[in-house]
Amino acid sequence: MRKYQNLSNEETRVQFVEEHNQGIGIKKLCRKYGIGSATAYRWLDDGTPRQVNAFPSITPRQIYQLRTESERLKQMVQIFEDCNISEMLSPKTKCELIDKLSGKYSIHILCRTLKLRRSTYYHHLKSPEKTLLEKRDDELRPLIKGIFEESHERFGAHKIKVVLAQRGIVACEKRIAKLMKQMNLVCKQCRLKVWSSANRQYTYYPDRLKKKFTQTAPNQVWVSDVTYVRVNEAFYYVCAILDLFSRRIVGWKISNQNSSDMLMEAFDNAYKQRGKPKTLMLHSDQGANYTSYMFRSFLRELKVTQSFSHPGTPHDNAVNESFFACMKREELSHKFYRSVEELKKDVGEYVVFYNGMRPHERLGDKTPMQIETEYWRQQENQKGKGITEHTIITEQHSVLR
């Protein structure tokens, strides 16, 4: 038998299979091409379609190609797992991942997996210096971290952006959020949620505020509420009084009893510190301490009008509810208090922080202290132009009515 010279020739194999399919015998074809019968049957076997599962027909060569593709896909999946890849990665990050895995996988498959042009990666190898954006990020990171620590881990990207702007540094909120994520800076989240349910018959008390949370001057409407915090095995009550105009906390008190005495002491201190304002309204829920005869008589003597939320409607006092939510999320829920002195210290520090440092989104990202300072400065300028104090008080009274 002649020795066949072109066993690796694909065209010869295909031509052999076609002639056999036309009816030419195997022995004749073996003599023609100078091959053995084993080779002839292998060629025929490679070119014969087969039924495989859901595939209508598949050849051994196609099976080989599928195996190759499967191995490639396995490598790509393994690369994704090794890189911990998210949906969106910057080219710079992809290049850094390729640098890290280049000894384990080929550059070709790494670039193909990460959908990065090889030319981009090779350009990265030749240009290792940082871009202007990367240098800018390096400058922002310590500033962002410093403000985050100053706020005792309370500020998110939006408030950090406001503080940076106040210091003359411009940075978009998304960029700050991205850098905070890179530095693992996560603002405090609420861990303690207290749900209260009280089913009792309510006496009718009027809602004079009617969710008019925007006021035109200080000391027109104050809102008040009470929450409780665990201290060891007991619970202490925190009362807060807030001015709707500036969202400033004007008074607060902590007691081991949710009583009218606690409210009277907190209100009396705030009332004196704010100059005993006239035409003042106090809005609260219909708790027994706010609706008690003692507390209502106390307010009547001071000529303070009372307003009450509807039963089971916390949105009627949403501003004070929001303050307590912030204080718990940013301070109280992160500690276990062993003494009431610790609780008083933290509440006092947080009130100072809330009034003087924390930007308020509803106030145009200004603090309550800034709002009141601007208001009184404006009033002084108007008085210099001939506007009397009597005119201002009359305007305030008309707003209340």
pLDDT tens sequence across 168-204:
999 999 999 999 988 888 887 644 444 444 445 556 7
Measured at the CA of 85, the angle between CA 175 and CA 109, to 5 degrees, comes to 125
Same domain, 138 and 121: no
Residue 364 domain boundaries: 221-393
Q: Which residues pair with residue 230 across a beta bridge?
A: 235
* Contact predicate 263/366, CB 8 Å: no
- Reading the block at residue 70, the tokens are 């499967």
Stretch 52-73: mean pLDDT, rounded? 76
Same domain, 111 and 145: no
Q: What is the pLDDT of residue 85?
A: 64
pTM: 0.56
Q: What is the pLDDT of residue 50?
A: 53
Same domain, 119 and 248: no
> 144 in a domain, yes or no?
yes
pLDDT per position as a tens digit, 276-330? 998 899 999 988 899 999 999 999 999 999 999 988 888 888 999 999 999 999 9
Same domain, 239 and 96: no
Q: What is the pLDDT of residue 339?
A: 92
Same domain, 342 and 378: yes
Same domain, 172 and 238: no
Q: What is the pLDDT of residue 77?
A: 77
Same domain, 382 and 250: yes
Indicate the residue type of 223.
V
Same domain, 108 and 141: no
Of 110-114, 238-242, 301-305, 387-391, least confident by mean pLDDT is 387-391
* Contact predicate 287/226, CB 8 Å: yes
> Is the predicted pLDDT of residue 221 greater than 90, yes or no?
yes
> 351 in a domain, yes or no?
yes
Measured at the CA of 221, the angle between CA 308 and CA 399, to 5 degrees, comes to 110
Same domain, 312 and 240: yes
* Contact predicate 229/343, CB 8 Å: yes
Q: What's the structural domain count of the chain?
A: 3
> Is the predicted pLDDT of residue 120 greater than 50, yes or no?
yes
> 202 in a domain, yes or no?
no
Q: Which of 83, 104, 126 is the last residue of a domain?
A: 126
* CATH number for 336: 3.30.420.10
Same domain, 285 and 388: yes
> 340 in a domain, yes or no?
yes
Measured at the CA of 170, the angle between CA 169 and CA 174, to 5 degrees, comes to 130
> 216 in a domain, yes or no?
no
> How buried is residue 218: exposed, middle or buried, by Cβ count under 10 Å (0-12/13-18/19+)?
buried
Q: Which of 78, 99, 126 is the last residue of a domain?
A: 126
* Contact predicate 4/31, CB 8 Å: no
- Reading the block at residue 37, the tokens are 């019968």
131 vs 113: which has the higher pLDDT? 113
> 4 in a domain, yes or no?
no
> Is the predicted pLDDT of residue 75 greater than 50, yes or no?
yes
> How buried is residue 282: exposed, middle or buried, by Cβ count under 10 Å (0-12/13-18/19+)?
buried
Band (pLDDT 50/70/90 cuts) for residue 383 is confident
Band (pLDDT 50/70/90 cuts) for residue 147 is very high
> 50 in a domain, yes or no?
no
Same domain, 380 and 257: yes
> 54 in a domain, yes or no?
no
Nearest by Cα to 282 from 294, 375, 272, 295: 295
> Is the predicted pLDDT of residue 42 greater than 90, yes or no?
no
- Reading the block at residue 24, the tokens are 């030419």
Same domain, 120 and 141: no
Q: How many CB atoms lie within 10 A of CB 288?
A: 12
